[in-house]
Amino acid sequence: MRAMLLETDGAITSNPLKMRDLPVPQPGPGQVRVKVHVCGVCRTDLHVVEGELPPVTRPIVPGHETVGIVDQLGSGVTQLREGDRVGIAWLQSTCQTCRFCQSGQENLCEDAMFTGYHVNGGYAEYALVSERFAYPIPDLFSDQEAAPLLCAGIIGYRALRRSQVRPGQRLGLYGFGASAHITIQIALHWGCEVYVCSLREEHRHLARELGAAWVGEASDMPPETLHSAIMFAPAGELVPPALRALEKGGTLALAGIYMTPIPSLDYTLDLFHERTLQSVTANTRQDGLDLLKEAAAIPIRTHTTVFPLEQANTTLQELKAGRIQGAAVLSMAP
């Protein structure tokens, strides 16, 4: 099968992903094999490729916003059938027995495995996933529309919950890439007023189109204090101004898996008056199921640009430069 393989970490400008012909994987007990149609391109993939996340498995096929059709079942599979359309997300498996798994916090499992990081992901024509971690894709969405929901959507949804925002309140979004362009649609559906700070004018334009009440540059101070905010940009220097933009009792959720160093905080200016700083770590399966259900009910409309699989390096370069509007998707079509 064709696959884009990361053998050695490197700057994305050095084109570290190589097209390789790999054996088609065979599903083990409880697993299914998915014939991949598309795979979304996530900033986490960039962090994996450039080594900003500690290298775990090499070589590795990145990609964890995968949509395709089940084409082979492993032994013991009972809930899925060949021909089912499913998605594969970042969380690939958990131990099911630790205190986190037993308390509804499987995203914190010490033995969690992640797609495209510990095990091969969706930048390939075939991928494996445990039956328990395969998401049925609502018929409403095309493959291309569904792919960004599987990480950008799920993480944005968890971050929205972690931000403690309530219907009718003011929400700030810092950074306006794939995740934020989905999150704003959910927040507006909840009746929130959304304020967006973003580095690039193209992203600010999309935020206006999607209904933001106010749009400013990355470090601008919103014209109103915010009840909650989400930091999507992996820029630690934006954390202090985002905290200062909060109302008393407000919450800032940090949605990234990686962030540059956060400057020292001033207790009185940044945290006093019971402001809260939250992080977001992966997701639970329930987060994914809840997001897909709500996305179909709204319905969410993702903005995507499709690239062929062999252009994975170029696509990640475009993502790093901030030139992707909404989300990028790789297609396995020859």
- Give residues with Cβ within 8 angstroms of 237, minimum separation 6: 219, 260, 262, 263
In single-letter form, the type of residue at position 119 comes to V
Task: Flag whether pLDDT at 32 surpasses 90.
Answer: yes
Average pLDDT over residues 201-230: 96
For 105-161, the pLDDT digits (tens) are 999 999 999 999 999 999 999 999 999 999 999 999 999 999 999 999 999 999 999
8 Å CB contact between 225 and 170:
yes
Task: Flag whether pLDDT at 334 surpasses 80.
Answer: no
Query: Domains of the chain: which residue ranges?
Result: 2-152+284-331, 154-279
Topology of domain 154-279, CATH = Rossmann fold (3.40.50)
Distance, in Å, from the CA atom of 31 to the CA atom of 24, rounded to the nearest integer, reads 14
112: which 2 tokens?
């969690």
Percent of the chain exceeding pLDDT 90 equals 99
DSSP for 187-207, written as a single string: HHHTT-EEEEE-S-HHHHHHH
141: which 2 tokens?
């969405």
Indicate the DSSP class of residue 177.
Answer: S
pLDDT of residue 203: 95
Closest residue by Cα to residue 60 from 101, 137, 115 = 115
8 Å CB contact between 134 and 160:
no
- Give residues with Cβ within 8 angstroms of 204, minimum separation 6: 176, 196, 198, 215, 216, 217
Q: How far is CA 215 from CA 194, 206, 250, 316, in A?
A: 9, 10, 20, 26
Q: How far is CA 57 from CA 48, 54, 61, 113, in A?
A: 10, 10, 9, 11
Task: Flag whether pLDDT at 21 surpasses 80.
Answer: yes
In single-letter form, the type of residue at position 75 comes to S
For 41-94, the pLDDT digits (tens) are 999 999 999 999 999 999 999 999 999 999 999 999 999 999 999 999 999 999
Tokens 């499709």 belong to 306
pLDDT of residue 171: 98
Topology of domain 2-152+284-331, CATH = Quinone Oxidoreductase; Chain A, domain 1 (3.90.180)
Average pLDDT over residues 208-218: 97
277 bridge partner residues: 252
What mean pLDDT, rounded, does the chain reach? 97
Q: What global pTM score does this model have?
A: 0.95
308: which 2 tokens?
């062929």
Distance, in Å, from the CA atom of 203 to the CA atom of 242, rounded to the nearest integer, reads 18
For 260-314, the pLDDT digits (tens) are 999 999 999 999 999 999 999 999 999 999 999 999 999 999 999 999 999 999 9
